[in-house]
Amino acid sequence: MQRVINDPDMLVEDMLPGYLKANERLVHSSAENVRSVVSNFVGEGGPRVGIVTGGGSGHWPAFIGYCGKNMVDAVAVGEIFSSPTVKVFEQCVREADQGKGVAVLFGNYAGDNMNVKMAMRRVRREGIEVSKVVANDDVASAKKEESAKRRGVAGEILMWKCGGAKAAMGGSLEEVIACAQKAIDSTKSVGVGLGPCTIPSNGRPNFAIEPGTMEIGIGHHGEPGIKVEELKDARGIADEMVDIVCGDVPFGEGDEVVVLISGLGATPVMEQFILASRIYDDLAERGISVYRSYVGNYFTSLEMNGITLTLMRVDDELKACVDYPVDTPALVQA
């Protein structure tokens, strides 16, 4: 294992100071807890609903990369692939609270669910109004009739984008929650794994994919997918991903969608564009229009080789939210 690190057990502690120095125009850490990363724009222009998220490190730019203006107000930072603590989530809610309530928007993982629930209970005792939306866009992680069990993956980004925009527009907590819920309900994702990643503290790959094969439906932490099959070319991978995602909602003729294609860490952006071209063609053949698209490393897993596809069906409300300007380390939109 060859890495640019100091102590493999201190990656997050070593990373955060550099991240905060590099992005001091946009974010800072809470004086109460360095693992709570806070937007410099909280309260700018008057009080509004606060937006909080959080999750394990190793997924750059998720989660801290989306903290900034008009998106996420505070992010709870966990260890590599591990949930942030209750105390970190608590402090994030306090930092984001501007007297209008706080929306906690996070992915469907056991640790996050448990710790957010406990944090919400504690801050409510302090008089803070808080609600949550749990992302469950990974169609491969559970059957359609058990969608509440599905994981949250790259679709969380679009949930944060829409929830943050609705808050910036002056929406109430109830309106922000409804918009974020609509966004994630309209969003489906699937991943394809081509190679594992190595957690430095373990020093070995966290799963195995044999040469010449690919795993369909793999999770961001290497969770097993729905099948392993012979490696296809980019056209074949794109066709299979579109079939899986569009077959779940289903997306259909006349729909407009946001497309988000993310590498998992080791997939060159050039290859992502090769895949994207076929995905756009597949959608056009189905009569589905692309309203806006994002291609790049938006939600990774250390150096995992692979790619995810996320589609969000949009209406006028979600279009306005997607188009709303943001300024964050990972996403800038005028």
DSSP state of 308: E
Residue 132 tokens read as 């949550």
The DSSP bridge partners found for residue 327 are 69, 332
- The reported pLDDT for the residue numbered 174 is 98
Query: Mean pLDDT throughout 324-328?
Result: 98
State yes or no: pLDDT of 126 exceeds 90.
yes
- The reported pLDDT for the residue numbered 249 is 82
- The reported pLDDT for the residue numbered 236 is 98
- The reported pLDDT for the residue numbered 1 is 76
- Select which of 221, 257, 259, 331 is catalytic: 221
Any idea which residue has 């794994």 for tokens? 193
Query: Mean pLDDT throughout 169-183?
Result: 98
pLDDT tens figures, 278-311: 999 999 999 999 999 999 999 999 999 999 999 9
- The reported pLDDT for the residue numbered 290 is 98
Q: What are the φ/ψ torsions at residue 155 (nearest 5 degrees)?
A: -60, -20
Kindly state the percentage of the chain with pLDDT values over 90.
96
- The reported pLDDT for the residue numbered 274 is 98
State yes or no: pLDDT of 94 exceeds 80.
yes
**CA trace torsion 104, 105, 108, 110 (10° rounding):** -20
Whether the pTM exceeds 0.95: the reply is yes
DSSP state of 138: B
How many angstroms separate the CA atoms of 155 and 161, rounded? Answer: 10
Q: Is 59 a catalytic residue?
A: yes
Query: Which residues does 8 contact at the CB level (< 8 Å), separation at least 6?
Result: 200, 201, 203
Query: Mean pLDDT throughout 93-122?
Result: 98
Residue of higher predicted confidence among 289 and 202: 289
Any idea which residue has 């993956």 for tokens? 153
- The reported pLDDT for the residue numbered 173 is 98
Answer whether the bond into residue 47 is a cis peptide, omega within 30°.
Answer: no
State yes or no: pLDDT of 147 exceeds 90.
yes
Q: Beta 74-80 vs 130-135: how paired, if at all? A: unpaired
Tell me the CB-side half-sphere exposure of residue 309, using CA atoms within 13 A: 29
- The reported pLDDT for the residue numbered 46 is 97
In this structure, of 41-45, 57-61, 165-169, 249-253, the range with the lowest mean pLDDT score is: 249-253
- The reported pLDDT for the residue numbered 206 is 86
- Select which of 35, 59, 150, 313 is catalytic: 59
State yes or no: pLDDT of 129 exceeds 90.
yes
